[in-house]
């Protein structure tokens, strides 16, 4: 079952606020409480300034721009190793962004680019909403996975409390992670089964709509859309590192 | 140097234990992977304190994240790792050091010789001690057997540890009962004489870690000795300097009934296992005088090496 996001929760355009470049106290609390936040951001420049207020925005590729432009791409044209390379125009499964780096970005900001249009929603699923038992969470913390796609592969559990002091960090992307041993397959089964039962929030993309994800504790996915074409969807993405 | 950070060592220790636990418990690969896992767990314990504890002296800068141009980060030997654990991990005594090193040496034999070192190495010989050592290392880094082995194996490991402790307890209780019985058969006057001798002997016995205790068999005066765990700060009180030294009790001897217990586990079973402190006192002139002489000697050595 999908839960539709309620735009009225954060309907004041960020440019119209007194404190133009920051979240309001209420929005900050909301992001902190639920692990994601939907809001209106009128321009790319505002998106970057908002990102700066949350931490340190950074490019996801060496020499790349701070803003990535994410466009549905058919398999043959996609860069090797990306989700598009494997899935083309299909849905993307639940994942966290930047799972292949040791400390993935804390926040992911997404915004529908000016002039773009999208029929594909983004699905948001905070980890806390999965209602896992203590035993299941312990297994996700214990089981070890190999993380590839970087120059030096490394080991990590899905839930790590040893990577960033004082934080439990969620890392999940089946296109760059695989169980390091046969025992670790349990954790994949636990999470996939929980995601099947989950009630994700569906974010419908409309002009100037933006989404902030706490990437250390919230999964997201690309919903269904046309399988034969890109309907004109371009999402802007900014990755932000922040320890707070 | 990423390879010395706590997180990566901890994850790799778990992975190697997974590999061990996926093997036949009676086969050679179970202890082989477990031995590798133990060493990584010990290294993780040191990394939790600071990665520099894992670096060879000429690689210290790398442990602090500086690029020294060296391609290979040289890690300290396993023996150094376990010797350092002995200073850092509570209750990790000589017995644990010896057991750990015997496992590591067997691993070396397997890797560097033609011998099949793990072929005749049944779990009854090592697994219970192995899990007990793991538990000590895990506790020191804020982890548990469950977070290392998974819940099911951890439950089995706890049972093995408890059984082993029960066996030790039974042996110790038997030894105490035998000495108690022998002592009670003595005439009252002889008992008094032996207690009196024990009072003097224990007083005259000199050893930095000495602590006198009542014997659990005959209630006479016995002496505990132990391994130095750590030393507190030196403080000046009046005209003297004092320092508290913490010890792990590892031996007990009663001068009345001749009860002797060896190893921390045995002392723990006899109710004598708690760590204790001994306060050393120093004459300030002597204390600083020795430091001064040591510095002089160090300077002379440095100068000599410069030539």
How far is it between the farthest Cα atoms of chain A?
Answer: 55
Find the mean pLDDT for residues A183-198. 92
Note whether A182 contacts B147, CB cutoff 8 Å: no
User: How much is the pLDDT for B136?
Assistant: 97
Note whether B22 contacts A181, CB cutoff 8 Å: yes
pLDDT digits (tens, 9 = 90+) for B193-231: 999 998 888 888 888 889 999 999 999 999 999 888 777
Instruction: Tell me which chain A residue has its CA closest to the CA of residue B10.
Output: A162
- Cα–Cα distance between B104 and B110 in angstroms, integer? 10
Positive or negative torsion for Cα B64, B70, B72, B75: negative
Percent of chain A residues topping a pLDDT of 90:
64
- Cα–Cα distance between A141 and A132 in angstroms, integer? 12
Residue B161, classified by CB atoms within 10 Å of its CB into exposed (0-12), middle (13-18) or buried (19+), is middle
- Cα–Cα distance between B38 and B32 in angstroms, integer? 10
Find the mean pLDDT for residues B73-79. 93
Burial of B279-292, coded b for 16+ CB within 10 Å and e otherwise, reads eeeeeeeebeeeee
* pLDDT for residue B273 is more than 90: no
Burial of B37-69, coded b for 16+ CB within 10 Å and e otherwise, reads bbbbbbbbbbbbbebbbbbeeebeebbeeeeee
Instruction: Tell me which chain A residue has its CA closest to the CA of residue B47.
Output: A162
* pLDDT for residue B16 is more than 90: yes
Q: What's the first-to-final CA gap in chain A, in angstroms?
A: 32
User: How much is the pLDDT for B292?
Assistant: 57
- Cα–Cα distance between B13 and B41 in angstroms, integer? 5
Please name the residues in contact with A205: beta carbons below 8 A apart, sequence gap of 6 or more: A112, A116, A117, A118, A120, A121, A122, A233, A235
Q: Is residue B218 within 8 Å of residue B234, measured between CB atoms?
A: no
> Is A150 part of the contact surface with chain B (CB cutoff 8 Å)?
no
Which pLDDT band, with edges at 50, 70 and 90, does A21 fall under?
low
Note whether B11 contacts A162, CB cutoff 8 Å: yes
- Cα–Cα distance between B264 and B276 in angstroms, integer? 13
Percent of chain A residues topping a pLDDT of 70:
91
Q: CA of B88, closest CA in chain A: separation in Å? A: 20
Please name the residues in contact with A210: beta carbons below 8 A apart, sequence gap of 6 or more: A38, A39, A40, A41, A47, A50, A109, A110, A111, A112
pLDDT digits (tens, 9 = 90+) for B52-74: 999 988 888 888 888 777 678 89
- A155 to chain B: which residues are within 8 Å by CB? 8, 11-12, 15
Question: Alpha carbon of A221 to those of A36, A82, A124, A125, A236: distances in Å?
Answer: 13, 14, 7, 8, 15
* pLDDT for residue B15 is more than 60: yes
Count interface pairs A-B at CB distance under 8 A.
Answer: 47
Mean pLDDT, rounded, of chain B? 88
Q: Is residue A169 within 8 Å of residue A214, measured between CB atoms?
A: no
Find the mean pLDDT for residues B242-264. 90
User: How much is the pLDDT for A243?
Assistant: 72
Instruction: Tell me which chain B residue has its CA closest to the CA of residue A160.
Output: B7
Q: Is residue A105 within 8 Å of residue A61, measured between CB atoms?
A: no
Query: Across the interface, which of A138, A139, A157 has its CB nearest the CB of B11?
Result: A157
Q: Which of residues 95-134 of A touch B (CB under 8 A)?
A: 102
- Cα–Cα distance between B189 and B256 in angstroms, integer? 13
Note whether B19 contacts A138, CB cutoff 8 Å: no
Nearest to A155 by CA among A163, A164, A167, A147: A147
User: How much is the pLDDT for A149?
Assistant: 77
Q: What's the first-to-final CA gap in chain B, in angstroms?
A: 34
**What is the Cβ-side half-sphere exposure of residue A209, based on CA atoms within 13 angstroms?**
19
* pLDDT for residue A8 is more than 70: no
Nearest to A178 by CA among A99, A88, A60, A104: A99
Positive or negative torsion for Cα A181, B117, B54, B59: negative
User: How much is the pLDDT for B302?
Assistant: 45
Please name the residues in contact with A182: beta carbons below 8 A apart, sequence gap of 6 or more: B18, B22
Is A239 or B25 the better-scoring residue by pLDDT? A239
pLDDT digits (tens, 9 = 90+) for B106-116: 999 999 999 99
- Cα–Cα distance between B129 and B142 in angstroms, integer? 20
Is B143 or A21 the better-scoring residue by pLDDT? B143
Q: CA of A100, closest CA in chain B: separation in Å? A: 14
- A102 to chain B: which residues are within 8 Å by CB? 2
B123-140 helix and B29-49 helix, angle to the nearest 10 degrees: 20
């Amino acid at each position: 079952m999908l839960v539709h996001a309620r735009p009225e929760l954060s309907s004041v355009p960020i440019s119209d606020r007194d404190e133009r470049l920051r979240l309001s106290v209420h929005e900050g609390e909301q992001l902190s409480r639920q692990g994601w936040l939907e809001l209106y951001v009128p321009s790319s420049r505002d998106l970057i300034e908002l990102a700066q207020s949350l931490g340190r925005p950074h490019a996801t590729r060496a020499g790349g721009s701070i803003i990535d432009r994410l466009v549905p791409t058919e398999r043959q044209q996609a860069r090797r190793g990306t989700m598009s390379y494997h899935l083309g125009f299909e849905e993307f499964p639940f994942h966290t962004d930047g799972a292949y780096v040791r400390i993935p970005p804390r926040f992911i900001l997404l915004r529908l680019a000016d002039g773009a249009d999208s029929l594909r929603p983004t699905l948001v699923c905070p980890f806390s909403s999965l209602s896992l038992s203590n035993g299941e969470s312990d297994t996700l913390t214990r089981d070890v996975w190999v993380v590839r796609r970087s120059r030096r592969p490394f080991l990590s559990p899905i839930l790590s409390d040893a990577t960033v002091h004082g934080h439990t960090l969620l890392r999940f992307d089946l296109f760059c992670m695989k169980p390091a041993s046969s025992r670790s397959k349990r954790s994949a089964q636990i999470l996939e089964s929980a995601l099947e039962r989950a009630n994700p929030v569906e974010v419908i993309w409309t002009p100037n709509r933006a989404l902030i994800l706490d990437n250390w504790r919230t999964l997201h996915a690309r919903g269904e859309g046309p399988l034969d074409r890109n309907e004109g969807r371009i999402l802007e993405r900014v990755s932000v590192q922040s320890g707070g | 140097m990423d390879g010395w950070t706590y997180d990566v060592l901890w994850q790799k220790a778990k992975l190697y234990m997974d590999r061990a636990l996926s093997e036949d418990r009676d086969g050679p690969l179970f202890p082989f992977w477990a031995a590798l896992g133990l060493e990584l767990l010990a290294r993780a314990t040191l990394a939790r304190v600071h990665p520099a504890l894992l670096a060879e002296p000429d690689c210290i800068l790398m442990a602090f994240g500086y690029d020294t141009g060296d391609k290979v980060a040289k890690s300290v030997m396993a023996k150094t790792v376990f010797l350092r654990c002995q200073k850092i991990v509570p209750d990790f005594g000589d017995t644990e050091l010896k057991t750990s090193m015997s496992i590591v040496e067997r691993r070396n034999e397997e890797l560097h010789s033609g011998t099949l070192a793990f072929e005749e190495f049944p779990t009854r010989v090592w697994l219970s001690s192995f899990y007990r050592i793991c538990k000590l290392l895990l506790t020191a880094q804020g982890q548990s057997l469950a977070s290392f082995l998974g819940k099911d194996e951890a439950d089995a490991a706890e049972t093995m540890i408890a059984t082993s402790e029960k066996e030790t307890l039974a042996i110790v209780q038997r030894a105490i009962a035998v000495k108690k019985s022998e002592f009670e058969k003595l005439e009252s006057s002889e008992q008094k004489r032996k207690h009196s001798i024990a009072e003097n002997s224990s007083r005259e016995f000199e050893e930095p870690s000495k602590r006198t205790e009542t014997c659990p068999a005959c209630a006479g005066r016995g002496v505990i000795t132990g391994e130095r765990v750590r030393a507190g700060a030196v403080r000046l009180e009046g005209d003297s300097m004092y320092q508290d030294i913490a010890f792990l009790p590892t031996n007990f001897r009663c001068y009345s009934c001749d009860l002797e217990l060896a190893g921390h586990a045995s002392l723990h079973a006899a109710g004598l296992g708690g760590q204790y402190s001994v306060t050393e006192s120093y004459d300030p002139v002597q204390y600083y005088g020795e430091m001064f002489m040591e510095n002089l000697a160090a300077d002379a050595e440095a100068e000599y090496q410069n030539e």
